[in-house]
Amino acid sequence: MKKIFLLIVTSSVMMMNVVAQDSLQVTTTEPEAEAAPVKAKPKFTKATFRSTRIINMQSVEVISKSTLQFMISHHFGYLWNKDLGGETGEVVNQRTRQNIAQLFGLNSGVANTYLSLDYSPLSWANVGVAATGAMGFEGWLKFKLLRQQTGVRNIPVTIGLFSLMNVDASIEKYEGEFRANRLNYMHQLLIARKFSDKLSLQLMPTMVHFNLVPYGINNSNYVYSIGLGGKYKVRKNINVTFEYARQLNMYESLMDKNGNIYQYTPDLLSLGLEFDTGGHLFQLYVSGNNSASNIDQLARNTSDGKYCIGFTINRGFNLKK
């Protein structure tokens, strides 16, 4: 009996010793190596604007890679055409009746339609073609050079570059002229900042070059302007947009080939509402010019304070498999 008792005690002591050694091994295990620090990533600002255009002017936005966008922009006649009559008497009444009959430009028979297709082969580059009304055509390239971001680098603005070539295909206007005289060019720097989820602003210095001086001799082939545009979010899918551009030269005492003198107010103001329906983006606006091309809007805006209603619809198609 004593031998059995001694055997049980000895076995118990040996087991306790093994457990103690195992516990010691666990408690004396070296700590795991610290995880490698996570590399910081830039946080890019998205959706500075909801569309590739603010109203008439291009925004810094480029449609996503492998996307084809179709756009229709329609500019009606002037809301109130003060040139329809004179200043007094029956002529004023006749002018009023004519403007009402034209439904404030909607039924005037004067409208310019802009039809465009553009495609983004890269996430930062866009190429497009358009018919601009009055037998005009144009093509463009658009690049996003810099993106607003925080994190690794703090870049406060997004910068884009827009270059356009316009050709007038009408026969009568350039009969007997060199073919190169039909070509005009526009280069525009787009500098935008998204200040908050609601407010975005964009600055647009622009240069337009005419191969043929538009108003005859002794005038410049180059027209410069500076513009400001913006977007303010009212609701989730509704934005208020605006544009203002000031032409800096070639608007005073311009002489055409027949000796006629032209001068006009070099301001372009547009106000709009933007609706995002999910599949389409719809824009309704009032603009101080009813031309369809940016070249006419920024370099020969002879509307002289008259405004028109317009709308734009665009739709994107993802061509990527």
**Residue 250 maps to which CATH number?**
2.40.160.40
Q: State percent of the chain over pLDDT 90.
A: 54
Report if residue 66 sits inside a domain: yes
Report if residue 290 sits inside a domain: yes
Report if residue 183 sits inside a domain: yes
Distance CA 105, CA 93 (A): 17
The pLDDT of residue 19 is above 70: no
Distance CA 78, CA 302 (A): 12
The pLDDT of residue 122 is above 70: yes
Report if residue 258 sits inside a domain: yes
pLDDT in tens, 21-68: 444 343 334 455 566 666 778 899 999 999 999 999 999 999 999 999
Report if residue 15 sits inside a domain: no
The pLDDT of residue 6 is above 50: no
DSSP helix/strand/coil, 100: helix
Distance CA 248, CA 212 (A): 19
Domain count, the chain: 1
Average pLDDT score over the chain: 83
The residue segments making up the domain with residue 259 are 44-318
Report if residue 27 sits inside a domain: no
Whole-Å CA distances, 40 to 43, 44, 148, 150, 182:
9, 13, 16, 11, 52
The pTM of this model reads 0.81
Report if residue 7 sits inside a domain: no
Cβ atoms of 207 and 223 within 8 Å: the answer is yes
Report if residue 1 sits inside a domain: no
